[in-house]
Amino acid sequence: MSKRNILIVTCALLLSNAMSGLDSTIINTALPAIISDLHGIEMMGWIVAVFLLGTAVSTPLWSKLGEHIGNKRSYQLAALIFVVGSLLQGLAPNIVFLIIARTIAGIGNGGVVSLPYIIYARMYENPRKRMQVLGLVSASYSTATIIGPLVGGFIVDAFTWHWVFYLNIPVGLLSILLVQIYYKLKKEPHKTKPVDYSGAIFMSVGLISLLTGIEMIGSGNNVLVGAAFIVAIICLAGMAHFEKRAADPIIPSRLFKNRALVVDFALFTLIWGAFVGFLIYSPMWGSRLAGN
């Protein structure tokens, strides 16, 4: 690829990265308007949770799909799903429809945030240059998450909360188009190993059950909460069992043999969880206090 093409593709991927970061926090200041219009404040947590769940579950699946059909096609498919999810969110007539649409967007977001890293690695063979680009990726995402609440507040005041989601559509489509035209790397090698369907199913059902159980604590039937946790434990244990014998596991077990890496995973989970919780709920309750 020429330097010009590499630069354009990099900007296209940075656009999608910023779009993802913006979508993660722009909804925070729009939540009061959304709840007021669609009602269902008791389901407010699900609006955020399903997006993060869809991202978490689909991220390793997208990377595996890229190994089989190519990272370019996988990225374009992920971005298209994200755009469709954004369109459906803006058209949502009720809170349940919005939650389903946000789940779809979260599934697409898993590929939008993960596949560009693989593409960068193929475009920038020089490690120093690659790290500089990855620094730009982190900067663009962090900046987008910071300005997200400000942009969301402006859009809600100037237009309606629907445009918080419509904003993603032109950005996502532009990124897909630029990648299609300018990403002309040599044919990507495709894996011939069988897809680890068992691991993918067990992981997805296990994580979904775990989140469902956590979300129902304090508001749902204790029996259902316990059943959700039991299903989660069984599925995650089943995934660990099948991953040991899979030719191409979704999550290689060797990752958890690195103690330093496991500690980093744990710390990242705690820090990011606190950060996301603050970003989501502080605008919501802050607006309610201001109204009182």
Q: How do the domains of the chain map onto residue ranges?
A: 3-192
Alpha-carbon distance 245 to 241, whole Å? 7
DSSP type of residue 185: P
Does residue 52 surpass a pLDDT of 70?
yes
Between 197 and 167, whose confidence is greater?
Answer: 167
Residue 282, pLDDT score: 60
Q: Are 74 and 66 in contact (CB under 8 A)?
A: yes
Residue 133's pLDDT band (cuts 50, 70, 90)? confident
The CA–CA distances, whole Å, from 291 to 40, 284, 287 equal 19, 11, 6
| Residue matched to tokens 């399903």 | 50
The CATH code for residues 3-192 is 1.20.1250.20
Q: Are 114 and 63 in contact (CB under 8 A)?
A: yes
pLDDT given at position 202: 83
pLDDT at residue 84 in the model: 94
Taking the chain, what is the end-to-end CA distance rounded to the nearest angstrom? Answer: 58
How far apart (Å, rounded) are the C-alpha atoms in residues 271 and 269?
A: 6
Rounded Cα–Cα distance for residues 207 and 235 (Å): 8
The number of beta carbons lying within 10 Å of the beta carbon of residue 203 is: 24
- Which pLDDT does position 80 carry in this prediction? 93
Closest to 200 (Cα-Cα) out of 251, 254, 255: 251
> In whole angstroms, what is the distance from residue 253 CA to residue 6 CA?
34
Measured between alpha carbons, how far is 10 from 130 in angstroms, rounded to an integer?
Answer: 11
Confidence band, pLDDT 50/70/90 cuts, at residue 87: very high
What is the distance between the alpha carbons of residues 18 and 286, in angstroms, rounded to a whole number? 26
Name the band, by pLDDT with cuts 50, 70 and 90, for residue 76.
very high
The CA distance from 53 to 210, in Å, is 10
Pull the structure tokens for residue 180: 């299609």
Is the Cβ–Cβ distance between 105 and 85 less than 8 Å? yes
- pLDDT(88) > 90: yes
Mean pLDDT of 273-279: 70
How does DSSP assign 20-85, residue by residue?
A: HHHHHHHHHHHHHHHHHHH--GGGHHHHHHHHHHHHHHHHHHHHHHHHHH-HHHHHHHHHHHHHHH
**CA 257/CA 253 separation, integer angstroms:** 7
Please say if the pLDDT value at position 286 is more than 80.
no
